Amino acid sequence: MILHLTYKKNRATALLQHQYGKTNFDSVQILILQVMKSVSKFFFLVILFGIFSCSNDDNGSGSNSGFFLRAKVNGQNYSSFVSPTAVSVAGMLMIQSSASSGNSIQIQIANYDGVGTYTSGNNDLTAGYINYLLLGDTPTSFQTFTSVRGTGTVEITEVTETSISGTFSATAPENVPGATNQVSITEGSFRAELQ
């Protein structure tokens, strides 16, 4: 199966290079990364809206639902402020979380098939990603770090009708061409509400 997916990816890459040429293919890759950054901004704004529109019935201590997403980002604790959610559509799993600081972690698994280990990286957007959005000085200013440019691993350990649990880690460079900044995401774990 891995050989077959690698063949499909290589064939798709070859077709794009043939259709757009090598120089234009590099432009297509940059365009894909720009689209990914725009999508990340959209998710960030949705999360920000959700944080400020939620009632504060738990005295600011985060979610009491039993759902969580925790990790260490460059050694600093990250914990979701609202219950993280997971959506599985057409073989793709997306998990979204946001911390009280406005920073967020998104996980996308392509070719999702339940319990198992999934990897991302090698500039292969089709394998999925682990993204970290770092809020800047204003609500519309932030940096995006992605495992697409580095490496990432997600292990799904349990799936029920209402939740999905697992662990994750990543080395995620900033999502800009020629990036030198990166974050290390370690000790990641989650139990997300399956929508």
Q: What is the pLDDT of residues 92-142, one digit of tens each?
A: 999 999 999 889 999 999 999 999 999 999 889 889 999 999 988 777 788
Closest alpha carbon to 71 in 180, 154, 10: 154
Q: What is the pLDDT of residues 48-81, one digit of tens each?
A: 444 444 444 333 334 457 999 999 999 999 999 9
Give the range of the structural domain holding residue 148, as residue numbers without chain letter.
2-194
3-state secondary structure of 170: strand
In terms of pLDDT, which residue wins out, 124 or 186? 186
- Are 173 and 143 in contact by the 8 Å Cβ rule? The answer is no
Q: What is the pLDDT of residues 11-60, one digit of tens each?
A: 545 544 555 455 555 555 555 555 555 555 555 545 544 444 444 433 33
- Tokens of residue 186, six digits: 């370690």
Closest alpha carbon to 71 in 140, 177, 168, 137: 168
Domain count, the chain: 1
Closest alpha carbon to 108 in 158, 43, 46, 176: 43
Residues 6 or more apart whose CB falls under 8 angstroms from that of 8 comprise none
Element at 12 (helix H, strand E):
helix 2-53
**What mean pLDDT is predicted for residues 158-175?**
96
Residues 6 or more apart whose CB falls under 8 angstroms from that of 182 comprise 145, 150, 171, 172, 173, 174
In terms of pLDDT, which residue wins out, 137 or 148? 148
- Cα(117)–Cα(120) distance, integer angstroms: 10
